[in-house]
Amino acid sequence: MLDASRRWRGDGKSIGLVPTMGALHAGHLSLVDLARRENDLVVASVFVNPIQFAPGEDFERYPRDPIRDAELLEQSGVDAIYRPSVEAMYPPEARTRVHVSGVSEPLEGVARPGHFEGVATVVSKLLIAVAPDRAYFGQKDAQQVAVVKRLVRDLDLGVEIRVGPTVREADGVALSSRNVYLSAEERSAAASLCAALRMAADAYAAGERDPDRLRSVLRSRLEAEPLAVVDYAEVVDPGTFRGPGTLAVLAVRIGRTRLIDNHDLSLEFPG
Ligand code: PAF
């Protein structure tokens, strides 16, 4: 356990952990705010986790700005930043990986082989290192949330997983560190994801329950955007990530950038 966490725990303080890969935006900072409201002390981790990027993904070009990240975290009132090196996290002799079966397999699991094993491994290590009472994740990565919840239950990690709402730009685009890859034209095209979710939520509110028809509402809106290439557009159960369910989940390529978004259709679309 980190020395600071050990000391704080000894003093009877509650600890919230906000795991991040840096390149911070208002979505991360909203998780820090939530963690500050619910805990005596907040630790944010900043670690671009190489093993959750599949070969050919954007590990090398993933945005990194450690100075800005540290400034934002300090301004937002975190008590400690945990920034391990790759060598400390994964020494060459390390042979252990954490695999969560079931919920990690469909959708992102198909599109990004090894991704959730990388996430489950690093999240396990972060939870062991910091030993928080609560850990905070964004709803935008809904399948990651489901994988982490399963992991924590299965390994009796004794940490509460808290989920913060997706933070959106004025036009509905979900904040993501990868949005910096988008050209101006691609950034406009990215609004098609939230437009599709909104249309499906409207259809659901009007009484539509047929999963095929809800899926085709999503797809037809996305396919109307010439720059969007749909990877998947499904309506699934938020616990298993298989149908039927009410969680609309999208993965869409716009240029070289792959964006994901989701919305529970039984809830009004925000904004
Ligand atoms: O959501 C992220 O930023 C990452 O997947 C996480 C949870 C920090 C693990 O590297």
- Of all protein residues, whose CA lies closest to atom 2 belonging to ligand 1? 20
The per-residue pLDDT for 3 is: 85
Separation of alpha carbons 153 and 169, rounded Å = 34
CATH topology classification for 177-264: Pantoate--beta-alanine Ligase; Chain: A,domain 2 (3.30.1300)
Query: Three-class SS of residue 227?
Result: coil
Q: Which residues line ligand 1 (CB under 6 A)?
A: 19-21, 49, 52, 119, 122-123, 141, 144
Would residue 115 show up in a list of annotated catalytic residues for this protein? no
Considering the four listed CATH numbers 3.30.930.10, 3.40.630.10, 3.40.50.720, 3.40.50.620, the one that applies to the domain covering 2-164 is 3.40.50.620
Residue 125 predicted with pLDDT over 80: yes
Query: Which residues in the chain are classed under CATH 3.40.50.620?
Result: 2-164
- The average pLDDT across 148-172 equals 98
Share of the chain above pLDDT 70, in %: 100
Task: Give the pLDDT confidence of 176-197 residue by residue, as tens digits.
Answer: 999 999 999 999 999 999 999 9
User: Residue 189 to residues 20, 74, 251, 262: CA-CA distances in angstroms?
Assistant: 26, 34, 13, 17
pLDDT band for position 251 (cuts 50, 70, 90): very high
**Residue range(s) occupied by CATH 3.30.1300.10 in the chain:** 177-264
Mean of all residue pLDDT scores within the chain:
97
Q: Residues 250, 107: contact at Cβ < 8 Å?
A: no
Q: Is the pLDDT of residue 1 over 70?
A: no
Q: Please tell me the residue having the least CA distance from ligand 1 atom 7.
A: 19
For ligand 1, pick from 20, 47, 83, 139 the residue to mutate: most ligand atoms within 8 Å of CB: 20
- Give pLDDT, residue 4: 86
Q: What is the SS3 assignment for 254?
A: strand
Nearest alpha-carbon partner for 177 in 61, 74, 262, 42: 61
Q: Which of 29, 31, 119 to mutate to test the pocket of ligand 1 (most atoms within 8 A of CB)?
A: 119
Q: Averaged over 63-71, what is the pLDDT?
A: 98
